[in-house]
Chain A
């Protein structure tokens, strides 16, 4: 039966063939692929037709999974700044963990830091401090030195001198905020940020989509040792970080846009071939509708981001900082600790206690009597923190006046070297486990959405990379404006952002145009057009063109081309004759 069917089919085909001859058969549709063009020779001209087809999509939803995002170049993900993450909660959590950690789990240096956090007046060996003379007095006045210090501070003798909140705030300000990568971040170039560096919120670290996707794999490199603009070297504050739990496997980012989804058509001047240029970037200012609650949806963030292990390092100065001996220079006297780099341990301790003293103890006086109201000792803290001691009735010598925080810094320096650690080697390095990042997903999302809504340009690279419609290597491209004051045909010159990134993160080709833009003369001395605002774009050099007009451009090899605009066959087509000049 199958053979019969085959024979019939063959017979039919033969019949068709026989009859086709005299009757003229239908030839199948064919497509002739354009052959690769040879580069234009000097003096050679070629005409290309550019089409400005627009597919205006509305509420188009782009869904990006973790896998999608991980396939993108890291540089693209890092272009998407999400938020400045306030580090204070994390640092406070870290300090709380350290303060309460079992001593057996800590290194000597960490143990000393723990001691510092737990440091109470009772813990201090005053014999090694400027309050040494207070020890001698204590017998005479019948008050232990620790009690005197505690009274001055307004705390009990067993109460830690340093509060966690003050310690965290100072650590963030001194150690983190001073880091160059926590001061500015890369961002779009605009009039207010001509160098493309945007300030980071004080005490925060900038977080990009790349950080979230790779779970902060580059945190150590970014916030490790780094050169400062003034030549100093910041030691960094993250020695190692591992096991950030920020996103789940089901992480998904959905963005809803209104935009022309099709690329612009342009010309690769080298061979006068038609190429495509991604159009999303130039529309980025108005493709999102922040009023639409679905304009950005991020799912799959863990409710409470945590870090499995985090090793923090605080460097100690090789020098011992003595207390101030003079109230001048103001406001904190002559202790050299105030001239030290802010990220060092000693100035941070000084700041911690200074803040506490100024908040809690300024203006306080304590006096001790012997017998019936015979005052023998008095200590007073002035409003600026300067502490003076007085003795009466020959009970002994009073300690020299100084700033209270200097005294406490001195105590801390002494305490840190317990166990025989030499000066300058008491770097505090401690590893935290399962630390809460200090921010919940809901707040994180809210902040991310607010930031991206305020400046959607952060999404430009991502939007282009995930809708990669650029083909070829256009030097100029055609934009048609159908209506409005600027209606007509425009030629735009490519910008670096129009060149997609390769997987490694670099641009697929270098942007090496000696004279970008359009010119009225072949010598390229008279620019025409400019960075005219058009459809929200101010980044591109552009020029309106009409049939019969001529402009000159130079490509990235230095060759100069003459572009003659031809007669338009329809509104959205633009014929351009490209002539390479000798």
Chain B
């Protein structure tokens, strides 16, 4: 099938969403598979069975995210105002200035995140919890929309809040199990510049009748024919929403009086976003110059967009050793199956896309290869009782999901280090406040093996958050 319009859809490069932009926290930094708080509804519902009193945890944080990217062009490019469609390109048309490092671009923004959980014990040794939280979020807007990253991303706004219900129960004096389910509600918006030269369907449309022009366009187009002005078409997907269900479960075991271990599993989910797209085709090449052979788009194409993403599965193991009544150390290991995300699937539908002479229908679908790899998250925390409350500090590491071949400014990623801390200060018997902060950053990543030179360069990312949660224990001491 020939889908020029796919072109359009593909472009929506990887949204700025990868393991690198996992939400920095759900609950507090203390919350986790072995933490008995209401956020266990998400982290490990088995722990809900350990609740003694109904409790709530709600709060938020301001998250500062900074992405820096300096593109390093390692391929040969023709001058952007040229239009040689087949490689090799006449050397006279190549632009020597389009090599080496481009001007750095950055995306810096502050976003609020909030969540809230309520949980209560059940008769018979169980517990149940309900929460609203956002494990995935990515608001990104590059400071120079026309910068060297524009073919990957100009801006994106993605949120995937979850409404989660969890139930845990005690199967043994020292063993609890739990299950939960989440309603995922996704919101996505993207804006980027689509390089039509990278679209298989565009290449096929030109190669087939009536144009019948051999060309080098397509997903494997060499750099010589990429990033031409005429084929650089701005596109946006807005107001895209998605819903789906997923589930998770866990087990918590008090192995000894001092040692607790837990194992959790979060199932993934496919999210299909439906929204609107707008594609700027306002170049005479597309709107009128080839109309005699049947290629004539309106200057602005609008229609329905569909974007399919896959959320990974996660398996996490945690162990906490209560070294003293006041101090404990905890380790967490998580395996995230980002390899489930082979590609992003995008479909656009609009009668304005149809170009019957070129055999192009009004709808098309395409995949943007991501080929992400599974990631390992490691973290170590120390909990200690200090005046005036209980302090938790931790550090962690997350391996990158994006390989060098497909990483780009839309999904910046790398070896991520994290530092976090929280201070849980009781305000009363029922109330306490947890002030927390987190700092995550990737080790500066230099990529030289990007497919088709799309993402070569140096990446930086820093995510810092600060906030507070209120913890409430209802009912008082019995």
Residues of A participating in the B interface, judged by any CB pair closer than 8 Å = 5, 8-9, 11-13, 15-16, 19-20, 22-31, 33, 51, 53-61, 63, 261-263, 265, 276, 466-469, 471, 482-483, 570-573
**A60–B207 CA distance with the chains assembled, in angstroms:** 10
Q: Once the chains bind, are A9 and B213 in contact (CB under 8 Å)?
A: no
Give 6 nearest A-B pairs by CB, closest first.
A12-B241, A26-B189, A16-B187, A31-B300, A572-B81, A29-B278
Contacts A9-B241, A53-B81, A471-B288 aside, 16 further interface pairs with beta carbons under 8 A come to: A20-B189, A25-B157, A27-B191, A27-B236, A29-B278, A29-B279, A29-B300, A53-B289, A55-B83, A56-B84, A58-B214, A61-B210, A276-B284, A466-B292, A482-B93, A571-B79
Complex Cα gap A33–B161 (Å):
39
Q: Are B235 and A55 in contact (CB under 8 A)?
A: no
Asked whether B239 lies within 8 Å of A469 as measured between CB atoms, the reply is: no
List the B residue with the shortest CB-CB distance to A464.
Answer: B292
Q: How many angstroms from the CA of A466 to the CA of B235 in the assembled complex?
A: 32
Given the complex of chains A and B, what is the CA–CA distance between A6 and B208 in angstroms?
Answer: 41
Set of chain B residues within 8 Å of A54, measured between Cβ atoms: 83
Contact A29 B79 (CB under 8 A): no
User: Is A24 touching B157 in the complex (CB atoms < 8 A)?
Assistant: yes
Pairs across A and B, CB under 8 Å, 9 listed: A12-B187, A16-B159, A27-B236, A28-B238, A54-B83, A63-B210, A261-B290, A467-B293, A573-B81
Question: A residues within 8 A CB of B230?
Answer: 53
- The residue on A at minimum CB distance from B188 is A16
**B144: Cβ under 8 A from any A Cβ:** no
CA distance A58 to B213 in the complex (A): 7
Is there an interface contact between B241 and A276, defined as CB atoms closer than 8 Å? no
Using known A-B contacts A29-B278, A33-B299, determine if residue A9 contacts B157 with beta carbons closer than 8 Å. no
Q: Are B139 and A469 in contact (CB under 8 A)?
A: no
- Report the bound CA distance from A572 to B291 in whole Å: 22
Contact B211 A12 (CB under 8 A): no
Contact call B191/A29, Cβ cutoff below 8 A: yes
Contact B234 A8 (CB under 8 A): no
Q: Indicate if B427 sits at the interface (CB-CB under 8 A).
A: no
CB neighbours of B279 from chain A (8 A)? 29
Chain A residues near B84 (CB, 8 Å)? Answer: 56
| B300, closest chain A residue (CB) | A31
The complex places the Cα of A15 from the Cα of B284 at a distance, in Å, of 39
Residues of B within 8 A of A61 (CB): 209-210, 212
Q: Hey, which chain B residues are within 8 Å of A5, CB to CB? A: 243
B475 at interface (Cβ–Cβ under 8 A)? no
Tell yes or no: B217 within 8 A of A by CB.
no
Interface size on B, residues (CB 8 A): 57
Contact of B213 with A60 in the complex, beta carbons under 8 Å: yes
Cβ contact of B280, chosen from A31, A261, A466, A471, cutoff 8 A? A31
Is the pair B235, A29 in contact by a Cβ cutoff of 8 Å?
yes
Say yes or no: is B282 at the interface (Cβ < 8 Å to chain A).
yes
When C-beta atoms are compared, the residue in chain A nearest to B273 turns out to be A12
Q: Is the CB of B185 within 8 A of A482?
A: no
Q: A22–B185 Cα gap in the complex (Å)?
A: 18
Is B276 located at the chain interface by the 8 A CB criterion?
yes
Chain B 208-230, CB within 8 Å of chain A: the 1/0 string?
A: 01111110000000000000001
Do residues A60 and B300 form an inter-chain contact, with CB atoms below 8 A? no
Contacting residues, chain A, for B386 (C-beta < 8 A): none
Residues of A within 8 A of B156 (CB): 26
Partner of A26, one of B212, B236, B291: B236
Shortest Cβ distance from residue A330 to the other chain B in the assembled complex, whole angstroms: 63
Residues of A within 8 A of B243 (CB): 5, 8-9, 12
Give the CA-CA distance A29 to B190 in the complex, in Å: 10
- For residue A482, which residues in chain B have a CB less than 8 angstroms away from its CB? 92-93
Q: Which residues of A contact B213 (CB under 8 A)?
A: 57-58, 60
Roughly how many angstroms separate A265 CA and B81 CA in the complex, as a whole number? 14
CA distance A15 to B239 in the complex (A): 10
Q: Of A26, A262, A570, A573, which one neighbours B157 at CB under 8 angstroms?
A: A26
Pairwise interchain contact A468-B81, C-beta atoms closer than 8 A: no
Residue from the set A19, A63, A468 with the largest chain B CB neighbour count within 10 Å: A19
Verify B280–A24 contact, CB threshold 8 A.
no
Q: Are B157 and A20 in contact (CB under 8 A)?
A: yes
Instruction: Find out whether the CB atom of A13 lies under 8 angstroms from the CB atom of B241.
Output: yes
**B-side contacts of A469, CB under 8 Å:** 288-289, 291-292
Please determine whether B81 and A29 come into contact, CB atoms closer than 8 angstroms.
Answer: no
Q: Does B112 contact A (CB under 8 A)?
A: yes
Judged by a CB distance under 8 angstroms, whether B348 is at the interface is no
B81 touches A571 (CB 8 A): yes
Cβ-based interface call for B141 (8 A):
yes
- Does B85 sit within 8 A of A, measured CB to CB? yes
* A contact residues around B290 at 8 Å (CB): 261-262
On whether the beta carbons of A28 and B187 are closer than 8 Å, the reply is no
Tell me how far the C-beta of A487 lies from the nearest C-beta in chain B, rounded to whole angstroms.
10
Shortest CB-to-CB span from A16 to chain B, Å, is 4
Name the A residues within 8 Å of B37 (CB-CB). none
A467 and B292 CA atoms in complex are apart in Å by 5
Q: Is B316 an interface residue (CB 8 A)?
A: no
Please name all residues of chain B whose beta carbon is closer than 8 Å to the beta carbon of A22 when the two chains form the complex. 111-112
From residue 96 to 148 of chain B, which have CB atoms closer than 8 A to chain A?
109, 111-112, 139, 141
Distance A20 CA – B141 CA, assembled complex (angstroms): 13
Q: Output the least CB separation between B254 and chain A (Å).
A: 39
In the bound complex, CA of A414 to CA of B185 (Å): 107
A18 to chain B: closest residue by CB: B187
Residues in chain B near residue A57, CB distance under 8 A: 211, 213
A11-B185 CB under 8 A given contacts A28-B276, A31-B280: yes
Is there contact, CB below 8 Å, between A276 and B288?
yes
Partner of B238, one of A26, A262, A483: A26
Whether a CB of chain A sits under 8 angstroms from the CB of B22 is: no
**A482 to B93, alpha carbons, bound, how many Å?**
9
Q: Looking at the complex, which one of A24, A26, A572 makes contact with B82 (CB distance below 8 Å)?
A: A572
Chain A CB within 8 A of B201 CB: no
- How many whole Å from B354's CB to the nearest CB in chain A? 19
Q: In the complex, are the beta carbons of A15 and B161 less than 8 A apart? A: yes
Enumerate chain A residues within 8 angstroms of B82, measured Cβ to Cβ.
572
**How far apart are A189's CB and chain B's nearest CB, in angstroms?**
26
CA distance A23 to B279 in the complex (A): 23
**From residue B443, how far is it (CB to closest CB) to chain A in Å?**
28
Contact between chains at B238 and A25 (CB < 8 Å): yes
A276 with B289: in contact, given A12-B243, A15-B161, A29-B280 (CB under 8 Å)? yes
Closest to B161 in A: A15
Using Cβ atoms and an 8 Å threshold, which residues of chain B touch A15? 159, 161, 185, 187, 241
Min CB gap B330→A, angstroms: 33
| Contact A28 to B81, CB < 8 A, known contacts A13-B241, A276-B288 | no
Please state if A55 and B300 are interface contacts (CB–CB under 8 Å). Answer: no
Min Cβ gap B96→A in Å is 13
Q: Complex: how many Å from CA A24 to CA B210?
A: 44
Bound complex: CA A468 to CA B279 (Å): 26
In the assembled complex, the Cα of A12 lies from the Cα of B241 at a distance in Å of: 6
**Chain A residues near B185 (CB-CB < 8 A):** 8, 11-12, 15
Question: Could you tell me the distance between the alpha carbons of A466 and B157 in the complex, rounded to whole angstroms?
Answer: 47
The residues of B that contact A31 with a CB separation of less than 8 Å are 280, 282, 299-300
* A67: min CB distance to chain B, Å: 15
CA distance A51 to B187 in the complex (A): 40
Q: Which residues in chain B, 236-287, are within 8 Å of chain A measured between CB atoms? A: 236, 238-239, 241-243, 274, 276, 278-280, 282, 284-285
Q: How many Å lie between the Cα of A541 and that of B230 in the bound state? A: 29
With a cutoff of 8 Å between Cβ atoms, the chain B residues found around residue A276 in the complex are 284, 288-289
* Shortest Cβ distance from residue A35 to the other chain B in the assembled complex, whole angstroms: 13
Cβ of B186 within 8 Å of any chain A Cβ, yes or no, is yes
Between A29, A63, A467, the greatest number of chain B beta carbons within 10 A of the residue's beta carbon is seen for: A29
- Interface contact A28-B236, CB-CB below 8 Å: yes
Partner of B212, one of A12, A20, A60, A570: A60
CB distance from A33 to the nearest CB of B (A): 6
A27 cross-chain contacts in B, Cβ below 8 A: 191, 236, 238
Q: How far is the CB of A6 from chain B (nearest CB, A)?
A: 11
Complex formed: what's the CA distance from A113 to B159 in Å?
97
Instruction: Say yes or no for B80: interface residue by CB 8 A criterion.
Output: yes
Contacts of A261 on B, CB cut-off 8 Å? 289-290, 293
